[in-house]
Amino acid sequence: MTPVTAHRARPARASRRRFSVTSPPWLFAAPALVVYAVVVLYPAVSGVVYAFTDWSGIGEDMSFVGLAQFRTLLGDEQALGSIVNTLLLTVAIVVVQNAVGLLLALGVHVRLRSRALLRVVFFAPVVVSPVMVAFLWKYLYNPDPSSGLNGLLGVRVDWLGDPSVALWSIAGMVIWQNAGYSMVIFLAGLEGVPPELHEAAKIDGAGTWQRFRFVTWPLLAPALTINLMLSTIGGLKLFDQVFAATNGGPGYATETLSTVLYKQAFVFGKFGYSTAIALVLALFVAAVSLVQVYYLRSREVTA
């Protein structure tokens, strides 16, 4: 069958006539732009300057060192190693969190009797502060075989202590916390699928899977774009949970770019170097997001 287009859902009156209407005026965007420029753009641009200095983070002493900080980064094994961890963590989070989020959204979108309650339950982890989630999960990740998750599942895993497991334990914790987040955005997308489309598809004889594949899925594209981008950026910048759960350990097994740049700025007193890492991280995330948004937008149904 052919995909049902959004066309049918449009109000009859509007779709019959075609008018070219002017774009909204610039004034609509002006206030937001001013606040954004003051709070985000201007500080970021002036902050970038530190990447070319040797400033410690406090005091008056500062000299310009050109690109020296970036050269240091190229030879910094620890910082480079953290990139691998950051990528692994991001991939795991993006894939699993969105898959779980989508399934939950589809599940609670159906008119179940308990759906209001279920939505609250799945969303509940989102409202707990990330640092606290890490505190809490340290109780669940107790390596003792008789307590926490080990006791519950009947396994013996050294969740946060085994260097080859710790990264995935953090991913699990983050996914638990953020699946509800993805769910909410998918739900907003699902609420936006007009019921008439499903009715029409049913009349055309489409089954559940076909209706999902050809009606729901294409119209979920904006939600999917948003979810994929937000979870990718969130994964690449992930800090709070890693910091509170392992602080990069055991050894350097869970060190991410964000924890490295944090430590350089606030523990080691190398603010200049930390800014250089932050700049590289920003460029990297920006590149990934641009590719993503370009690719995803191209497959969205344009209304």
Partner 1 sequence: MTDLLHDARVSRGQFLRMMGGLGAAAFATACSTRPQTSTPSGGGQATTELKFIGVSDQKTPMDQLVAAYRQAKPAVRITASYAPTDQVQTSVRTQLGAGNAPDLHVVYPGSGSAMSMSQIAEAGLLADLSAQAWTRTIPEGFRPAFQLDGKTYIYSAGSSVIGAVYNKKAFEQAGVEAPPTTWSEFLSVCDRLKKAGVVPIALGAQTPWVTQLITYALVPSTVYAKDPSFDDKQLAGQASFAQSGWREAMEMYLELQKRGFFNDNPNGTTFEQQTSMVATGKAAMAVQVSAVLPDFRKAASTPDDLSMFPVPGADDAAGVWIPAGVVVGLGAGAKGANVEEAKAFIDFLGKQENINAWAKAIAAIPLVQDAASTIDPAVESFLPFTKDRAVPFMDQRWPNAEVQPVHFAVIQELLAGESTIDEALRKMDEAYQK
Partner 2 sequence: MKRTFLLEIVMIAVAVAFLFPVYALVSLSLKDPAQISQSPLALPDPPTFANFAEAWTAAALGPSLVNSTVITVVSLVALIALGSFASYFLARVRTRLGYGLYVLFLLGIVLPFQLGMIPLYQLVNDLGLIGTHAGMILFYTGIQLPFTVFLYTGFIRALPREYAAAAQIDGASHLVAFTRVVFPLLRPITGTVLILNAVFIWNDFFTPLVYLGGSGYETVPVSVFAFVGQYVSQHGLVFAGLVLGAVPIVLVFLALQRYVIKGFASGLKG
* Residue 168 and residue 87 in contact, taking contact as beta carbons nearer than 8 Å: no
Q: Compare residues 179 and 261 and give the one whose CB is closer to partner 1.
A: 261
x/- contact string, 196-225, with partner 2 (CB under 8 A)? -----------------------x-xxx-x
CB count in 10 Å sphere of residue 51 = 21
Q: Compare residues 6 and 165 and give the one whose CB is closer to partner 2.
A: 6
Q: What are the C-alpha distances in Å from 134 to residues 90, 100, 129, 281, 290?
A: 18, 20, 9, 24, 31
x/- contact string, 28-67, with partner 2 (CB under 8 A)? xx-xxx-xx-xxxxxxxxxxx-x-----------------
Please list, in sequence order, all residues whose beta carbon lies within 8 angstroms of the beta carbon of residue 296, skipping any fewer than 6 positions away: 221, 224, 225, 228, 229
Q: Compare residues 3 and 251 and give the one whose CB is closer to partner 1.
A: 251
Q: In the Cβ-directed half-sphere of 233, how many Cα atoms lie within 13 Å?
A: 14
From partner 1, partner 2, none, interface partner of 188 (C-beta below 5 to 8 A by class): partner 2
AA letter at 69: Q
Region from 82-90, 119-127, 217-225, 268-276 binding partner 1, contact rule CB under 8 A: 268-276
Tell me the number of residues near partner 1 by CB under 8 A: 47
Told to check if 248 binds partner 1 by CB under 8 A, we report yes
From partner 2, partner 1, none, interface partner of 248 (C-beta below 5 to 8 A by class): partner 1
Q: In terms of C-beta density within 10 A (0-12 exposed, 13-18 middle, 19 or more buried), how is residue 142 classed?
A: middle
